[in-house]
Amino acid sequence: MRSLRRILRTPLGIAAISLLALVLLTAIFAPILWGAQADAVDTDNILAGPSLEHPIGTDGLGRDLLLRTVVATRLSVVLALVATLVAVTAGLILGVAPFLLGRAGKVFTWLVGIAVAFPALLLALFFAVIFGTGWVGATWAIGLAGAPTFARLCQTLVAGIAERDFVSAARIGGVGRFRVLFRHVLPNIGEPLIVNATIGAGGALLSFAGLSFLGLGVQPPEYDWGRLMMDGLSGVYLNPLAALAPGVAVVIAGLAFNLTGEAAARSLGIGSVGVMSKLAALQPRRVAEASPPAPDEVLAVRDLHVTFPGGAGPITPVRGVDFTLRRGEVVGIVGESGSGKSLTALAIAQLIEEPGRVDAETLRFLGTDLRDGDHRRLLGTSLAMVFQDPMTSFNPAKRMGGQLAEVATQHHGMTRRQARARAVDRLAAVRIPDAEQRARQYPHEFSGGMRQRAMIGMGLMGSPKLIIADEPTTAVDVTVQRQVLSLLQAIRDQDEVAILFISHDVSVIAELCDRVLVMYAGRIVEDLPVAQLDQAQHPYTRALLAAVPDMQTDLDAPLATVPGRPVDPAHVPPGCAFAARCPLADAHCRVEDPQLVTSAPGARVACWHAGEPLPDPIAAPARDIEGTTQTGPTTRTSPTTRTSGVQVVV
């Protein structure tokens, strides 16, 4: 009953149950009400067409076809239900056999495996040969034909239950297989079995109509929908409705069972598909304003916003990002997950898809305004992307060489052969051994490190001026991380390529980058040269740095983290977004949002209390807070010096 109420909560469920109730009520009452009338012979009205008296005409004995179609509901539905019962029972026996019989039961699994390969209708015909024509034979035939499907279902369900702890416990406790079956297994597979039996009943109804239509099922003087269709087809030239009306009845009744089963499956399963969020009307917020580009500028971003529609209005995970990138400059963006750093990267690369939208005052790449128009060629040749997960970022169904080569055929007008040669050359350039042979392989034949290098190689098919690397070292192990970082560094040194490197790991950024942008809640809160990381002004930056373990970290103490939780982009508080987690925050911080302002040459910070000493070490008991004061670097290890030591190793 509880299940029924849950089904009735959805519109589909209500419609399905109502339809099913209608079908069942008709099956019960129609023969009582109209049974005699439907058999009344009227020799004056033989094979009449549709009329007021007989809306869909009469049959060869002048009997009213509409009444016969309605009355046939009972036999059609009852036979379908009996056949389903046969199918479920036989399926259950076959399905639990492997569980009861142990190894000997494997034979059943094997036979069922072969039997399910055959369509049910073929199996029904097979059994129809044995049982002969007539409704008894047809019921057995359709029931047994459905058995393999249910057997497979039962096997799967039983196998799932049998592995659970309580079943194992019962078995170890010496409870017999039969007892375990009835006490533990069957009660647990009842619900899915009933749901599937309901769907199966719809199928049985159609199959029965099919067999009767072929003349193998119900025989005169009995009649079901299939039989009525068969009789109607012979007179199709005179009265097509005679064949169609029972067919429509079959479809309606079949749908009633099917939909009820589906609705039950959906409401009893793992929730329903959530209502799609409404697409809020978003006003474009763009002011045309262009400052002249600096001579070596690669990328200029001003007031970048990324917005998605959400259930309760638009969500803006990136809220006004400003920065520029010069030739050969390596800039890192660091921040926790959800800070908007990856979306910033995707927005710059024009890879945000609808319904997300990108707004900016300036979004200029190599002097070209990216905000309007199609810049596919420019972006395809001069901007390279490296994504986080090298496992999933290549197309598993295409060979590596082809995936690289298509960049060149697409954008450089190369022939397939030239492009292939270039691809092999690029794979070699990113230190893939046996590049010629490797190019013929599929991504799953590459190791993780090779894939990530190949991804960079793909970016080098053109002559990129900017590489955007979105967490390229997050999904790989430390050795691969080294390879990736040193490769990017080599590329920068060789061709003066600018790199925008996104990571949540400050130490990786410190190792590779010239400058670091710290993002929090969709904004840049601090922008400073990596060499000055130890003079970071923003409390958030300082907290991030404090969270990096180094050689001085007391390994017995708990690992330091930034206390508190990141801001949910759907609920950005007024004032400074970091205020709730900030040890320096005061009332002013919670009301007014600090702007990103220049704090020192080449450094910007957005904080009302920039550089003020922190009240006590933030969640980093084992560390000095020397890096967090404004007194400048001491002789002690700072993240920069530590990681530059690592660079030597590379």
Partner 1 sequence: MTTTAALPAKGVPRAGDHRWLRFTARRAGRLVVSLWVLATAAFLMIHLIPGDPVRAALGPTASAELVAARRESLGLNDPLIVQYLNYLGGVLTGDFGVSIQSGLPVAETIAQRLPATASLAVLAFVFAVIVAIPVGVAVAVATRRGRGRKLELGFAGTSVFISAIPDFLLGVALVAVFGVSLGWLPIAGRSGPESYILPVIALSLGPAAVLARIVRVEMLTVLEADFVRTARAKRLPAWRIYLSHALPNAVTATLTLAGLLLSALVVGTVLVENVFAWPGLGSTIVSSIQLKDFPMAQATVLVYGAGVLIINTIVDAALAVLDPRTTVAED
State which of positions 472-511 bind partner 1 (CB under 8 A): none
What is the DSSP code (8-state) at residue 438?
H
Residue with smaller CB distance to partner 1, 154 or 253:
253
Which residues lie closer than 8 Å to 224 by C-beta, 6 or more apart? 72, 75, 76, 79, 135, 208, 209, 212, 217, 218
Q: How far apart are CA 439 and CA 58, in angstroms?
A: 73
The only residue of 139, 196, 258, 316 in contact with partner 1, by rule CB under 8 A: 258
Classify burial at 606, counting beta carbons within 10 Å of its beta carbon; exposed 0-12, middle 13-18, buried 19 or more: buried
Report which of 119, 300, 126 is spatially closest to residue 206, judged by C-alpha positions. 119
The only residue of 1, 52, 273, 397 in contact with partner 1, by rule CB under 8 A: 397
The only residue of 75, 170, 379, 567 in contact with partner 1, by rule CB under 8 A: 379
Q: Which residues, numbered 426-445, are part of the site for partner 1 (CB under 8 A)?
A: 441-442, 444-445
Q: Please state the closest distance from residue 482 (CB atom) to partner 1, in A.
A: 20
In the three-class reduction of DSSP (H, G, I as helix; E, B as strand; rest coil), residue 592 is classed as: coil
Given a contact cutoff of 8 angstroms between Cβ atoms, the answer to whether 510 and 534 are in contact is no
The only residue of 210, 335, 457, 594 in contact with partner 1, by rule CB under 8 A: 210
Residue with smaller CB distance to partner 1, 192 or 462:
462
Four-residue CA torsion sign, 634, 638, 640, 641: positive
Q: Which residues, numbered 300-319, are part of the site for partner 1 (CB under 8 A)?
A: none
The site map against partner 1 for 318-357 (x = CB under 8 A) is -------------------------------x-x-xxx--
The CA-to-CA distance between both ends of the chain, in Å, stands at 67
Does residue 396 belong to the site contacting partner 1 (CB under 8 A)? yes
Q: How far apart are CA 135 and CA 588, in angstroms?
A: 85
Q: Please state the closest distance from residue 90 (CB atom) to partner 1, in A.
A: 15
Taking CB under 8 A as the binding criterion, the range among 244-252, 533-541, 585-593, 614-622 that sits at the site for partner 1 is 244-252
Taking CB under 8 A as the binding criterion, the range among 395-403, 507-515, 537-545, 571-579 that sits at the site for partner 1 is 395-403
What tokens were used for 435?
Answer: 């590049």
**Dihedrals phi, psi of 304, to nearest 5 degrees:** -80, 130
Taking CB under 8 A as the binding criterion, the range among 2-10, 312-320, 364-372, 389-397 that sits at the site for partner 1 is 389-397
Four-residue CA torsion sign, 192, 193, 197, 198: negative
Q: Please state the closest distance from residue 250 (CB atom) to partner 1, in A.
A: 7
The only residue of 104, 279, 557, 591 in contact with partner 1, by rule CB under 8 A: 279
Give the burial string for 508-529 (b: 16+ CB within 10 Å, else e). Answer: bbbbbbbbbbbbbbbbbbbbbb
Q: Which residues, numbered 453-472, are part of the site for partner 1 (CB under 8 A)?
A: 455, 458
The only residue of 407, 419, 456, 589 in contact with partner 1, by rule CB under 8 A: 407
Q: How far apart are CA 145 and CA 620, in angstroms?
A: 69
Report which of 297, 267, 299 is spatially closest to residue 195, judged by C-alpha positions. 267
β-pairing, 597-600 vs 466-470, is: unpaired
Does residue 280 belong to the site contacting partner 1 (CB under 8 A)? no
Does residue 106 belong to the site contacting partner 1 (CB under 8 A)? no
| Continuous H helices in 132-286 | 135-162, 165-172, 177-180, 186-213, 225-234, 241-268
Q: Which residues, numbered 501-560, are part of the site for partner 1 (CB under 8 A)?
A: none
Residue with smaller CB distance to partner 1, 91 or 575:
91
The site map against partner 1 for 607-636 (x = CB under 8 A) is ------------------------------
Torsion angle of C-alpha atoms 240, 246, 136, 85, degrees rounded to 10: 150
Residue with smaller CB distance to partner 1, 150 or 540:
150
Q: How far apart are CA 227 and CA 237, in angstroms?
A: 18
The only residue of 229, 366, 536, 610 in contact with partner 1, by rule CB under 8 A: 229
The only residue of 4, 32, 169, 236 in contact with partner 1, by rule CB under 8 A: 236
Place of tokens 């220049």: 598
Q: Please state the closest distance from residue 458 (CB atom) to partner 1, in A.
A: 7
The only residue of 8, 100, 125, 580 in contact with partner 1, by rule CB under 8 A: 125
Residue with smaller CB distance to partner 1, 81 or 458:
458
β-pairing, 368-369 vs 603-605, is: unpaired
Does residue 133 belong to the site contacting partner 1 (CB under 8 A)? yes
Cis-peptide into 221, omega within 30 deg: yes
Given a contact cutoff of 8 angstroms between Cβ atoms, the answer to whether 142 and 204 are in contact is yes
What is the DSSP code (8-state) at residue 409?
H
Residue with smaller CB distance to partner 1, 33 or 279:
279
The only residue of 91, 98, 192, 247 in contact with partner 1, by rule CB under 8 A: 247
- Chain-centroid distance, C-alpha 352: 17
Q: Binding residues for partner 1, how many (CB under 8 A)?
A: 71
Given a contact cutoff of 8 angstroms between Cβ atoms, the answer to whether 452 and 390 are in contact is yes
Residue with smaller CB distance to partner 1, 466 or 589:
466
Q: Please state the closest distance from residue 222 (CB atom) to partner 1, in A.
A: 17
Does residue 128 belong to the site contacting partner 1 (CB under 8 A)? yes
Q: Which residues, numbered 178-207, are part of the site for partner 1 (CB under 8 A)?
A: 206
Q: Please state the closest distance from residue 258 (CB atom) to partner 1, in A.
A: 7
The only residue of 35, 60, 119, 613 in contact with partner 1, by rule CB under 8 A: 119
Q: Please state the closest distance from residue 400 (CB atom) to partner 1, in A.
A: 12
The only residue of 106, 376, 416, 636 in contact with partner 1, by rule CB under 8 A: 376
Residue with smaller CB distance to partner 1, 301 or 468:
468
Q: Please state the closest distance from residue 237 (CB atom) to partner 1, in A.
A: 6
